[in-house]
Chain A
């Protein structure tokens, strides 16, 4: 409890410290205070059980380039599976004593509105819609007891299912490659929150092990045999694994077994936008005139910051350019 109070104090101080630097477009959303241990779940879709093809995780309404990448019959089916995966995770966490659940849509399909709200566990707060500050960890604060990523996917260049990393081909902080889980774990560490559970395909888990070490519980949902083909398991089995692992994760998180993912400050961020994007996306990112963002190449950029949340705000701005 004393630790929580300390974290709460810490969460206030960055606001004071960053007064003279970039003005943040972000005011923390006022989620109800948790009555008990709070679990923050970020469900993505690419790494969920059974999903292998982009048509299964895209609704088709995200923008021009996604129009033909959907097939509604599959999409409907997989958002149902997604909701049930999240429910299984919540049920497991509740079994171990968690009492508050925040689910923040981590997948851009249907513009961050994949989970079917009336099928979701009634104990959960659902953050859905786009745009949202800090994108995948919107709503995180120091009252969060532990952070879980379900259905995560590997970064570009890895032989994982639908491997990508936000809008980037490469993304490094202090010369360390980070995937989406890594970036969000770094942002969460600003609040002293640690990642306790990650589920995804085998490539994703291997990559995240390189980034976060053995400091989390992993669930391999499928084994990739191509970018859009995998050895998969019954959704029932995946849900059971999520349920059981979430329980263990919460139990261990309550003991303080997991440590936040920390890197040395200041953070030297370097990234390159995807080669497949049109020049208008690059021009859009240029026209953000983001404070501190330097151009390092045709579509690569550099940023030095003391606050990982600045990375989150920038991600949000870039997502808005891409999904506009």
Chain B
């Protein structure tokens, strides 16, 4: 609540505060120690508790992050990734929503072949405010987490009962030549010096709970960089990027078959103990730079988030550091930043 409403209000009132220098001087220096209760942690814990309570006691649970940029065939953000009411004017958007469901279903089918018994799908694509899969199209056994804002964006409800994570339709990191490459609202994002893309961040948050990221599907840039970050996980290359909006695409039906096979292999390898969660030493020093294309107020608002500090050697005014002992707190910070950027 505080982060969502009071902070934007505080930003809105900043010009007022500037006119009252006496009060400004009286304010205590900003406390930058990690807060005892992290941002949105209450909501996050609630989501996590609710999902945990719904999950099977035994069995094998796969948590699937469903993004869209890396889908077979998708190349253009402005039309294919957006519905009509958010600036897209292309009927193929509907086709890509179905394609997303097909690829997720293929992953579920493959995982099920290898013995997975429960599936949680979390909408990870924000262009449609996290409502892309037609509920009717999804495998009827899957739990679907949809809507916006939801705590912890791409890892809502993730918990230690989950056995493996997949990311489908993933895209390459910001400032790489991948299709629609980006990473949340950042130009760069590192934890203790490890460069992480969105798949990597999911693996980092899951890793702390002992959940390994085991399958990533996306273009060739994404699959290559994710293997560099996470090691020898299963990947499916859906297309070869020629630029940020052109690619040599493989037939969707072939990709579905490959995802099914890779998902089965991934689950089998987790059960054999061959795929381990990503572990990064505590404390986590998170360094990130906001996208250069954003208006200055985005960086301004980000600077106001609790615990966020300006980077020491920052000449651009949009780079920050954040230090914490909790990967979930990083997830919550992402949520806050997403709220700054996407505020509907």
Contacts and interface: CB of A to CB of B under 8 A. Distances in A.
Interface residues of A, number: 30
A225 B145 contact: yes
Contacts of A235: 135-136
A110 interface: no
Interface in A57-91: 68, 70-74, 77, 81
A121 B13 CA distance: 55
B235 to A, nearest CB: 28
A232 B146 contact: yes
Contacts of A286: none
Contacts of B7: none
Interface string B219-255: 0000000000000000000000000000000000000
B54 interface: yes
A81 B135 CA distance: 9
A72 B85 CA distance: 8
Best-surrounded residue of B140, B144, B156 (most CB of chain A within 10 A): B144
Contact of A232 (B46, B139, B141, B143): B143
Interface in B111-155: 129-131, 134-136, 138-151
A234 B108 CA distance: 14
Contact of B84 (A71, A81, A223): A71
B47 interface: yes
A159 B45 CA distance: 14
Contacts of B54: 223, 231
Contacts of A71: 83-86
B50 interface: yes
Contacts of A228: 147-149
A56 B83 CA distance: 13
B157 interface: yes
A233 B156 contact: no
Contact of B147 (A72, A73, A202, A226): A226
Contact of A226 (B83, B86, B139, B150): B150
B138 A70 contact: no
A148 to B, nearest CB: 22
Contact of B129 (A53, A161, A233): A53
Given A52-B131, A223-B54, A225-B150, A232 B145 contact: yes
A229 B146 contact: yes
B144 A229 contact: no
B130 A49 contact: no
B318 to A, nearest CB: 28
Contacts of B129: 53
A228 B131 CA distance: 10
Interface residues of B, number: 33
Nearest to B150: A229
A225 B84 contact: no
Given A71-B83, A232-B144, A233-B143, A225 B157 contact: yes
Contacts of B140: 234, 236-237
A85 to B, nearest CB: 12
A55 interface: yes
A170 interface: no
A50 B151 contact: no
Contact of B146 (A159, A202, A230): A230
Contact of A223 (B51, B85, B151): B51
Given A74-B131, A231-B50, A231-B145, 17 more contacts: A50-B135, A53-B148, A70-B85, A71-B86, A72-B84, A225-B46, A225-B145, A225-B150, A225-B156, A226-B43, A226-B150, A229-B145, A231-B47, A231-B54, A232-B146, A234-B142, A237-B140
Question: Closest 6 A-B residue pairs measured CB to CB?
Answer: A229-B147, A52-B147, A229-B150, A234-B140, A225-B47, A50-B135
